C-alpha cells in the first residue's frame, strides 16, 4: 500500500531499556533507518547497573535519560514527559522497526479523536513445532490482519481494550496531549512490579473510557523475539495467564462499574465462546498447557493482586477522570515539562 506523507507530526521514539546494550544497539540501528523525516529518539535507562546503555545511546547520538526507580511504566512516563513533540512512540529495546513503521503510525493521528495507535508485532525467530504451537508463539500482531478503530461506540469495546485486539506495548504511539488529560501509565503495573503486565491495556481502557479512539494498524510493523523452545513458550503462556487473572481482579476491585462486563466475559470464556475480534493465537493458547494447570495458574491471580496491594504498589482507587478535550488540555505542554524537570539525571 502506498503510504501518504502529507501528514507529518513531530515524533519522539522512546526506547526503555535496562542492561541490554546489545539489543539496544540493534534497535537504535533500525530506528536510524526509518523513512520518517521529523523524529528524534530518546533512550530511557531504567535503574541501570552500569554505563553500557549510556555508551550505546551516545554512539548513536540520541538523547539519554535515566529513571532511577525500577518499572517499565515509570520509564515510559519519564520518556513521555521529557518529549516536546506532538507524538510519543514506544518500541521495546529488543525489537527492530521496519523502515515505514513510524510513517504508518503517524498518519493515524490525522483524526483528532485518536489518542493512541498500535501496530503489528511479528516474530524474528519463533518456535514452531506444530501449527497450533506456532500460532500460540506469535506475539499477537502477526495474527491481527485487519485495521481496527475502537471507541465507546464499538460493540465489546471493554473486552477488546482490556483483553483483545488493540495491540501490545512493544509497538504503540500516543498523542502527547493525552498525558495532559490522563495520568499516564499505571506505575504499579507492568514489568518491574508485582503485577507484571497489563499496563498498555489499562491505558487503552482509560483513554477509550474518556471518549477517545484507539487504532490498530497492521502495516505499522516491528519485529520482536519470541520463544524458541516449547519450555519457553509454555512458561510465557502461563505467566500471561497469571497476569491476566491478577489484572481481572484489579478491574473488578477498582472499577465496580465494569463488573457486569467482566462477569459476562468470564462466563463466556468458561463456555468456550469465541469473539469475532479474537485472534487465532488466543484461540490456540489453551492448547499450550493442560486444563488443570491453566486453572491452577489463573487461581493465583487474585493472590498476586493482593500481594501488590499489600506492597503498596497498586492504589485502591483509580485516578479521577479528566476533561475530554484534546484541543484545550487543562495543563499546557510547557507546564508538563516543568513538572518533571526534577527527574532529570
- Residues with Cβ < 8 Å from 236, sequence gap 6 or more? 227
Using 50, 70 and 90 to split pLDDT, how confident is the model at 125?
low
Closest by Cα among 148, 140, 149, 156 to 265: 156
- C-alpha dihedral over 171, 57, 26, 43, to 10 degrees? -10
Using 50, 70 and 90 to split pLDDT, how confident is the model at 4?
low
Phi-psi region of 235 (alpha: psi -120 to 50; beta: other; left: phi over 0): alpha
Given a cut of 90, whether residue 203 has pLDDT beyond it is: yes
pLDDT per position as a tens digit, 290-326: 888 888 998 999 999 998 887 664 444 444 434 444 4
CB atoms within 10 A of CB 119: 30
78: three-class secondary structure by DSSP: helix
- Residues with Cβ < 8 Å from 87, sequence gap 6 or more? 9, 10, 11, 12, 105, 106, 109, 173, 174, 175, 176
Q: What is the pLDDT of residue 24?
A: 98
Quick one: average pLDDT of 117-122? 96
Nine-digit cell at 25?
Answer: 544497539
pLDDT per position as a tens digit, 141-177: 444 678 999 999 999 899 999 987 799 999 999 999 9
Q: What is the pLDDT of residue 277?
A: 62
Q: For the chain, report the end-to-end CA distance as a whole number of angstroms.
A: 43
CA–CA gap between residue 83 and residue 12 (Å, rounded): 7
The β-bridge relationship of strands 171-175 and 114-123 is: antiparallel
Q: What is the pLDDT of residue 145?
A: 77
Using 50, 70 and 90 to split pLDDT, how confident is the model at 287?
low
Burial readout 267-284 (b: 16 or more C-beta within 10 A, e: otherwise):
eeeeeeeebebbbbbbbb
Share of the chain above pLDDT 90, in %: 65
Q: What is the pLDDT of residue 308?
A: 82
Amino acid at each position: 500500500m502506498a503510504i501518504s506523507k502529507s501528514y507529518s507530526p513531530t515524533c519522539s521514539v522512546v526506547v526503555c531499556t535496562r542492561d541490554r546494550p546489545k539489543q539496544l544497539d540493534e534497535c537504535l540501528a533500525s530506528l536510524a533507518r526509518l523513512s520518517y523525516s521529523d523524529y528524534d529518539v530518546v533512550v530511557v535507562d531504567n535503574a541501570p547497573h552500569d554505563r553500557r546503555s549510556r555508551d550505546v545511546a551516545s554512539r548513536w547520538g540520541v538523547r539519554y535519560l535515566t529513571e532511577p526507580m525500577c518499572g517499565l511504566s515509570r520509564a515510559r512516563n519519564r520518556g513521555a514527559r521529557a518529549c516536546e513533540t506532538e507524538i510519543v512512540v514506544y518500541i521495546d529495546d529488543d525489537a527492530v522497526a521496519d523502515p515505514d513503521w513510524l510513517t504508518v503510525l503517524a498518519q493515524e493521528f490525522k483524526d483528532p479523536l485518536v489518542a493512541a495507535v498500535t501496530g503489528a508485532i511479528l516474530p524474528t525467530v519463533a518456535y514452531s513445532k506444530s501449527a497450533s504451537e506456532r500460532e500460540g508463539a506469535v506475539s499477537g500482531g502477526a495474527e491481527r490482519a485487519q485495521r481496527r478503530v475502537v471507541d465507546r461506540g464499538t460493540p465489546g469495546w471493554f473486552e477488546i481494550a482490556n483483553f483483545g485486539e488493540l495491540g501490545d506495548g512493544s509497538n504503540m504511539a500516543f498523542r502527547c496531549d493525552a498525558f495532559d488529560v490522563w495520568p499516564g501509565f499505571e506505575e504499579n503495573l507492568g514489568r518491574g512490579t508485582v503485577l507484571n503486565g497489563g499496563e498498555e491495556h489499562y491505558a487503552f481502557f482509560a483513554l477509550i473510557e474518556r471518549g477517545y479512539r484507539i487504532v490498530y494498524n497492521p502495516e505499522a510493523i516491528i519485529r520482536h523475539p519470541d520463544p524458541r523452545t516449547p519450555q519457553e513458550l509454555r512458561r510465557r503462556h502461563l505467566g500471561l495467564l497469571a497476569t491476566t487473572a491478577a489484572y481481572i481482579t484489579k478491574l473488578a476491585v477498582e472499577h465496580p462499574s465494569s463488573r457486569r462486563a467482566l462477569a459476562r466475559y468470564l462466563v463466556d470464556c468458561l463456555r468456550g465462546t469465541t469473539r469475532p475480534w479474537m485472534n487465532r493465537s488466543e484461540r490456540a493458547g489453551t492448547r499450550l498447557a493442560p486444563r488443570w494447570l491453566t486453572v491452577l495458574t489463573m487461581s493465583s491471580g487474585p493472590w498476586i493482586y493482593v500481594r501488590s496491594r499489600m506492597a503498596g504498589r497498586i492504589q485502591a482507587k483509580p485516578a479521577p477522570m479528566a476533561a475530554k478535550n484534546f484541543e484545550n488540555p487543562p495543563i499546557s505542554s510547557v507546564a508538563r515539562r516543568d513538572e518533571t524537570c526534577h527527574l532529570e539525571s
